[in-house]
């Protein structure tokens, strides 16, 4: 039997976890974040959300050490729950990863159009009133084809790409924030909240699962660890990704509120870049921010692509979807068929254009939180030591709260009709293509 290649080390797992988590939301939808909560609401929302994910990260770390299986949530829940629960847990997590891929493919066109305004031309059609331009589609499809080829060739090539883009992003981010810090003023912060403090924090907290999804992607590549890799490296990579992730978001939200009067910039297309340009008074800072954003986009796209393909491969191997998706390339040792199909699906979905950006954030949040809930509940059901049981219970309650606050209609920021439609369509698709009653291997 051909197995997946054993190539990854701790640094690779951190790059996968953090890189999958942090994309270009901090540039593309910063206006949405600040309009939800204001600078302080945004900071507190991500700080609270990030810390609440630590017990969930602990549970994932314990489970992946015991079960280094690409099926991840599917394997964990299959130990204690009926097969349908295991299938739909995996199907929802598949949505959480896959849906980021067209998000990033659309975002790269928007960034390119900002750098080269001539690309905002040749309008083909509109979705929800927003134009879809031919050059944007060409760029997005080209990037999708590139990352499909990289992941088809091998996990080592993909990991090297992930490492360079991850640490390059962190270096550029540190540089432009440092320059902005000496030019800003606390007078720019007000209003600190856009609603009451509680509602402001709640509205930001609702999107944290989507923008913090990724730390658990470490578990999807668990079968590809280097032979010398020690199991505790998994939990180290997961915890580091979570902490660096929410600290990153806190800093960038605070920096945007600090460097410019943010309320005046919320109608700008990329207000993060505009805010720093306002503070520095020069275009070069925008070039640096956009360079960081492009690197961040590449790594986030690649990381979610890796996670989605491994999960789809694992579902095929367990007979939950078409078994041909479990095929492994005999030379590259990659899940070649799953890689090709995720690439094709990404290219097709990006034709929906920029109208999908904010709704995807909402649906992705529920998909991620439902997977976290099921994983923590499964670990709790396995009856570990009392301390681990308490941590798992806390993680399960956090996941449940994150799901319910988007589904209950009386909670501010709940699902609209479009989000419900997307969730229902994905569920129906799972019923049509999946085999939830198939015996799990």
Report pLDDT digits (tens) over 202-233. Answer: 999 988 887 888 999 999 999 999 999 999 99
Q: Is the pLDDT of residue 76 over 70?
A: yes
| CA nearest to 369, candidates 246, 205, 200 | 205
For tokens 């393909």, name the residue: 309
Alpha helices in 29-154, H assignment, sequence order? 30-66, 73-78, 83-98, 100-115, 134-153
CATH number at residue 260: 1.20.1740.10
439 within a domain of the structure (yes/no): no
**Omega before 105 cis (within 30°)?**
no
> What pLDDT, on the 0 to 100 scale, is given for residue 419?
82
Above 60 in pLDDT, residue 162? yes
Q: Please provide the size of the chain in residues.
A: 441
Q: State pLDDT tens for residues 31-66.
A: 999 999 999 999 999 999 999 999 999 999 999 999
71 falls within a domain: yes
User: What is the pLDDT averaged over residues 285-301?
Assistant: 92
Residue 411 has pLDDT above 60, yes or no: yes
Asked whether residue 3 is assigned to any structural domain, the reply reads no
Higher per-residue confidence, 155 vs 210? 155
**Residue 257 pLDDT class (50, 70, 90 cuts):** very high
Look over the chain and give the mean of its residue pLDDT values, rounded to a whole number.
90
Structure tokens at 17: 């976890």
pLDDT exceeds cutoff 90 at 409: no
272: left (phi over 0), alpha (psi -120 to 50) or beta: alpha
User: Which range, of 122-131, 234-243, 333-342, averages the lowest pLDDT?
Assistant: 122-131
Averaged pLDDT, 110-138: 88
Would you say residue 382 lies in a domain?
Answer: yes
**438 in a domain, yes or no?**
no
**Residue 373: inside a domain, yes or no?**
yes
- In this prediction, residue 440 carries a pLDDT of 47
pLDDT of residue 437: 57
CB 110 within 8 Å of CB 95 = no
pLDDT tens-digit profile of 368-408?
A: 999 999 999 999 999 889 999 999 999 999 999 989 888 88
Instruction: Give the pLDDT score at 436.
Output: 61
3-state secondary structure of 67: coil
Asked if residue 126 has pLDDT above 50, the reply is yes
Cα 382–chain centre separation: 28
Has residue 2 been placed in a domain?
no
Cα 106 to chain centroid distance, Å, stands at 15
Q: Would you say residue 130 lies in a domain? A: yes
Q: For the chain, how many structural domains are there in total?
A: 1
Average pLDDT over residues 162-169: 95
Task: Say if CB 53 and CB 369 are below 8 A apart.
Answer: no
Q: What is the predicted pLDDT for the residue at 211?
A: 87
pLDDT at 278 over 60: yes
Of 124-128, 141-145, 333-337, 432-436, the range with the lowest mean pLDDT is 432-436
Identify the domain containing residue 249 by its residue range: 10-433
Identify the pLDDT of residue 425. 86
Label residue 243 exposed, middle or buried (CB < 10 Å: 0-12, 13-18, 19+).
middle
pLDDT tens string 316-341: 999 999 889 999 999 999 999 999 99
């Amino acid at each position: 039997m051909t197995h997946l290649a054993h190539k990854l080390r701790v640094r690779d797992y951190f790059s996968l976890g953090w890189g999958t988590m942090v994309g270009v939301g901090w540039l593309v939808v910063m206006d949405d974040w600040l309009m939800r909560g204001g600078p302080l609401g945004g900071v507190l929302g991500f700080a609270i959300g990030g810390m609440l994910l630590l017990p969930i990260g602990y549970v994932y770390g314990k489970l992946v050490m015991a079960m280094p299986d690409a099926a991840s949530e599917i394997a964990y829940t299959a130990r204690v729950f009926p097969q349908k629960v295991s299938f739909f847990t995996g199907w929802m997590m598949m949505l959480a990863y896959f849906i980021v891929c067209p998000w990033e493919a659309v975002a790269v066109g928007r960034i390119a159009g900002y750098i080269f305004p001539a690309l905002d031309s040749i309008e083909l059609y509109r979705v929800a009133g927003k134009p879809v331009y031919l050059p944007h589609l060409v760029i997005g499809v080209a990037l999708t084809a590139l990352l499909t080829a990289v992941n088809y060739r091998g996990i080592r090539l993909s990991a090297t790409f992930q490492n360079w883009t991850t640490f390059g992003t962190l270096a550029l981010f540190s540089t432009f924030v440092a320059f902005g810090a000496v030019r800003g003023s606390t007078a720019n912060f007000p209003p600190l909240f856009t609603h009451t403090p509680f509602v402001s924090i709640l509205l930001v907290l609702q999107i944290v699962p989507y923008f913090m999804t990724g730390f658990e992607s470490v578990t999807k590549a668990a079968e590809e660890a280097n032979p010398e890799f020690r199991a505790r490296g998994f939990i180290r990579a997961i915890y580091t990704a979570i902490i660096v992730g929410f600290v990153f978001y806190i800093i960038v939200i605070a920096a945007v509120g600090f460097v410019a009067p943010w309320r005046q910039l919320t109608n700008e297309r990329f207000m993060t870049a505009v805010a720093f340009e306002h503070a520095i008074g020069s275009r070069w800072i925008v070039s640096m921010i956009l360079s960081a954003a492009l690197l961040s986009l590449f790594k986030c796209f690649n990381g979610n692509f890796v996670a989605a393909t491994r999960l789809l491969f694992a579902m095929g191997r367990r007979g939950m979807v078409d078994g041909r998706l479990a095929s492994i390339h005999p030379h590259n040792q990659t899940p070649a068929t799953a890689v090709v199909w995720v690439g094709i699906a990404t290219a097709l979905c990006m034709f929906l254009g920029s109208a999908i950006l904010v709704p995807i954030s909402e649906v992705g949040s529920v998909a991620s939180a439902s997977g976290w809930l099921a994983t923590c509940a499964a670990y709790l059901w396995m009856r570990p030591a009392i301390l681990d049981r308490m941590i798992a219970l806390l993680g399960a309650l956090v996941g449940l709260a994150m799901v319910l606050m988007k589904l209950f209609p009386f909670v501010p920021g709940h699902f609209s009709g479009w989000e419900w439609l997307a969730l229902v369509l994905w569920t129906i698709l799972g019923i049509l293509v999946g085999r939830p009653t198939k015996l799990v291997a």
